Amino acid sequence: AAAVAGSTPSGAYNSAASGLQLNAKGGAYASASLSAYSNSIVSSPTYFAFAKGAGLMGEAGPEAIMPLTRSADGSLGVRVVGSQSPAAGNGITQHITQHFTISGNGDAALKQAMLEAARLGANDGAKQARQDLLQDFSNRGQARRLLGV
């Protein structure tokens, strides 16, 4: 049955797809070819030799290839290793580097949206001020007493 299934085009596709594993949300594997990417980030679709075939990583965006460590309690995961803090003697020093890219050209649509937001905010503020003043006058509040009415 396997030979027959592999002899037709649709059977060949089914046979090829039967070993396919999708891992866009994570996976853990041991592969010499994959190990070449350890401690790096793959930011575009990249093929690597895997299990008598090929694997694909970076297909859903940037992926970090990090070694896993098993702890004494049996949990498996990525571990943070820090240096000794000279001041405290037993703290962890962390260095965080962040890169931000902000793009925009301040086009006419953005300018119009900002003007409309400012106009609506001014209208809302004026309405609230009128309501507060009317409330003050109806309760014989401080504004009414200041005006002597």
pLDDT at 85: 52
Regions of the chain short of the pLDDT cut 50: 1-16
pLDDT at 22: 62
77, 60, 61: which is closest to 69 by C-alpha? 77
d(CA 55, CA 53): 7
Is-contact 67 35, C-beta < 8 A?
A: no
User: Where are the domains positioned within the chain?
Assistant: 26-93, 108-147
Alpha carbon separation from 119 to 106, 114, 125 (Å, rounded) = 19, 9, 10
pLDDT at 77: 82
d(CA 75, CA 124): 56
**pTM (global) more than 0.75:** no
pLDDT at 112: 80
